[in-house]
Structure formats: C-alpha cells, structure tokens
Amino acid sequence: MAWLRSALQWLVELLVLPVSVLRYAGLWDPLYKRFFPHLMCSFVADINRKMAKVKKELFDELPAFAAATPAATPPPLSVLEVGCGTGANFPFYPWGCKVTCLDPNPNFERFLHRSIADSGHVELERFVLGSAEDMQQVASGSMDAVVCTLVLCSVRDIDLALSEILRVLRPGGGFFFIEHVAAVKTGWLHFFQHVVQPAWRYFGDGCSLTCDTEAHLEKAKFSKLNLKYFMEPMAFRLINDHVVGYGVK
Ligand SMILES: C[S@@+](CC[C@H](N)C(=O)[O-])C[C@H]1O[C@@H](n2cnc3c(N)ncnc32)[C@H](O)[C@@H]1O
C-alpha cells in the first residue's frame, strides 16, 4: 500500500504545483495569512459548538491554577494563549482572568479585540507577535496557565515550543491543550491524511494532519500529564482525532 500512498501524494503535489510556485515566489504566505483569520472566524462557532463540553470541562480546571497567595485580593489568573487565533476560547475562560495572546500572524489581532469585547469577562493583557518556539517577549515563570488549541499541528518544532511553554509557566502552573492528531496508523483515515497533506499544509496555514503530538507531550518535562483521546466529527473528517488535557510544571 506504500506505493499507492506515494503515487497519490505525488498526484496531490502536482495539483497544488501552482500554489507551490506562488509560495516559493514569496507571494502565497502574505496573501493567505490575510485570508486565514477570516476562514478561522467562519469555523469558530461550529468548532465551539461541537467542542463545548470538552472545552468547558477543560477550562473549568483553570481557576485551580491561580497562584496561592496570602493576600486578601489575590492577583487575577494570568493566562498565555499561544496561537490564539481569533480568540475562540475566551467564552470558556473564568471571570476576570488576564490573557496575554501570542500569535505569529498579526492579522488576527483585530479579531481578538472583537472576541474580548464580546466575552465581556476576560481582560486582554497584551497581544504578542511571536511564535511558540521563541517566546522571549514573555518572562520566565510569569504565567499561571498556558493554553494551546489546534496550534501544535502548525508548530515546526513542537519540542522547542513545549520547552518554551514550560519556561514561561510558574512552578505548579498548567499547560492546557486540545489538539488534533494523526489517526490510528492501520486505518484508511491515516492513509488519506498522508495523501492530502501536501495540499493541506497550504490551505491549513502550515497545519500537519499527521502529528504525534501526544508523543511530544509525554516526552516534555511536565511533573504530571493528564491526557485523553477523543473523537469529534469536525467539518473535515481528517481532523476528527484529538487529544485534550493538561500538564503541570
Ligand atoms: C487552526 S488556528 C487555531 C486558532 C485558535 N487557537 C483556535 O482554537 O481557534 C492555528 C493558530 O496557530 C497559529 N500558529 C501557527 N504557527 C504557530 C507557531 N509556530 N507558534 C504559535 N502559533 C502558531 C496560527 O497563526 C493560528 O492562529
């Protein structure tokens, strides 16, 4: 079956040749990065509806990660959302938390402000233009929680991103994630994930369908890792398989 997969992959490569040419000419990324926030915006309501239970259960754990302090009025929970996109997770965050949003695509910023205004209960600390692999603009040990949803699939070096996440978390802080992952290796879905990948990376803004994100999470130096698999029928079946959970620094 390996030969069939390679042959089909080549066919897909051929079909997206015009896009590859545009990309190597430096024209694709600037254009697509303007368009991608609009595309994400059109999917957010559907994703949040389908994932409402998973997101609610996960983010209900956030307040437990507020730093313990003897002060009568403890500081608000500080959250760093990496690859924040349009701010899809804000409705699920606890009241009064302060969110620093980081994304390499500056075109998301105006969508974020809209989501903050709509949520009415979350405070945007600042927007940081940067990538998960290099978060030097965020101080070490400064965050109670870091959140990534549907992001690690687009990150080039997941190990480096996870070490950066551990750096910015305070001791005892939590890394919260929901990520789509590769389907079981023996199934057709896994086969088609590989076949479609050459086109998907362009139209999914660098997203990989075949990530073993769970292996990277298990390898990272979390003192405790709480990870569950779940299936959710998404608009594209290719991204039905997910992991959800949190790791503690
Ligand atoms: C599929 S969107 C998900 C957005 C949002 N987290 C959500 O759940 O709706 C992927 C996001 O990851 C961002 N991204 C891509 N590469 C990244 C990287 N290396 N570091 C951080 N974010 C990245 C993209 O700009 C985009 O905002």
CA proximity to 214, closest of 193, 175, 244, 239? 244
pTM of the model: 0.95
Of 26-30, 185-189, 226-230, 233-237, give the lowest mean pLDDT range: 233-237
- pLDDT value for 90: 96
Q: Which domain holds residue 182?
A: 2-58+76-84+96-132+139-248
- Measure the CA dihedral 60/64/69/74, to 10°: 0
- 154: domain CATH number is 3.40.50.150
Distances (CA, A) of 15 to 12, 198, 199: 5, 10, 8
> What is the average per-residue pLDDT within 177-206?
93
Asked if the structure places residue 104 within a domain, the reply is yes
Question: Ligand 1 center to residue 85 CA distance, Å?
Answer: 6
Asked if the structure places residue 63 within a domain, the reply is no
Of 89-93, 135-139, 236-240, give the lowest mean pLDDT range: 236-240
* Residue nearest to ligand 1 atom 4, measured at CA: 85
Question: Ligand 1 center to residue 12 CA distance, Å?
Answer: 24
> What is the average per-residue pLDDT within 44-69?
94
Asked if the structure places residue 22 within a domain, the reply is yes
Best residue for ligand 1 mutational test, from 38, 54, 103 (most atoms within 8 Å of Cβ): 103
| Cβ neighbours of 106 (radius 10 Å) | 12
Asked if the structure places residue 107 within a domain, the reply is yes
Say if ligand 1 is within 6 A of residue 83 CB. Answer: yes
Asked if the structure places residue 65 within a domain, the reply is no
Cα–Cα dist 124/69, whole Å: 23
Asked if the structure places residue 144 within a domain, the reply is yes
Of 52-56, 70-74, 133-137, 197-201, give the lowest mean pLDDT range: 70-74
Please write the tens of the pLDDT for every residue from 108-132: 999 999 999 999 899 999 999 999 9
Asked if the structure places residue 197 within a domain, the reply is yes
Is the confidence at residue 52, as pLDDT, over 80?
yes
* Residue nearest to ligand 1 atom 25, measured at CA: 105
- How many domains, the chain? 1
Say if ligand 1 is within 6 A of residue 197 CB. Answer: no
Asked if the structure places residue 64 within a domain, the reply is no
Say if ligand 1 is within 6 A of residue 88 CB. Answer: yes
Of 62-76, 86-100, 152-166, 189-203, give the lowest mean pLDDT range: 62-76
Question: Ligand 1 center to residue 4 CA distance, Å?
Answer: 32
